[in-house]
C-alpha cells in the first residue's frame, strides 16, 4: 500500500509539471483556426480585465494583437 501511495503521489506531481502540460497540449494537434480562437478568447478576457483596471495602454496592445488574430480567422473562413 505504501508503494502504491508513493506512486500515486509521484504521478500527481509529474502530471502537473510544465513538461507534462506542454506534451499533452501538443497531442491536441490544433488547427490554425482553433489556436486563433483560443488566443481570441484569452485576449478578450485580458481586455476586459485591463478595461476594469483602466490600463488603456495594455488595451491598445491587445487590440493590435486581436487584429492579427482576426486576420487569421478571416483567412480560414
51 — pLDDT class (breaks 50, 70, 90): very high
Whether the Cβ atoms of residue 43 and residue 65 lie closer than 8 Å to each other: yes
Q: Is 16 helix (H, G, I), strand (E, B) or coil?
A: coil
Q: What ranges do the domains of the chain cover?
A: 1-29, 31-77
Compute how many other C-beta atoms are within 10 angstroms of the C-beta atom of residue 62.
21
Q: Is the pLDDT of residue 1 over 60?
A: no
pTM of the complete model: 0.64
15 — pLDDT class (breaks 50, 70, 90): low
pLDDT of residue 21: 64
Q: Is the pLDDT of residue 22 over 80?
A: no
pLDDT of residue 28: 77
Amino acid at each position: 500500500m505504501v508503494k502504491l501511495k508513493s506512486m500515486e503521489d509521484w504521478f500527481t506531481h509529474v502530471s502537473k509539471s510544465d513538461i507534462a502540460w506542454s506534451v499533452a497540449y501538443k497531442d491536441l494537434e490544433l488547427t490554425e483556426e482553433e489556436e486563433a480562437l483560443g488566443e481570441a478568447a484569452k485576449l478578450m478576457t485580458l481586455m476586459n480585465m485591463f478595461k476594469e483596471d483602466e490600463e488603456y495602454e495594455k488595451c491598445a496592445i491587445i487590440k493590435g494583437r486581436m487584429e492579427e488574430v482576426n486576420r487569421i480567422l478571416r483567412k480560414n473562413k
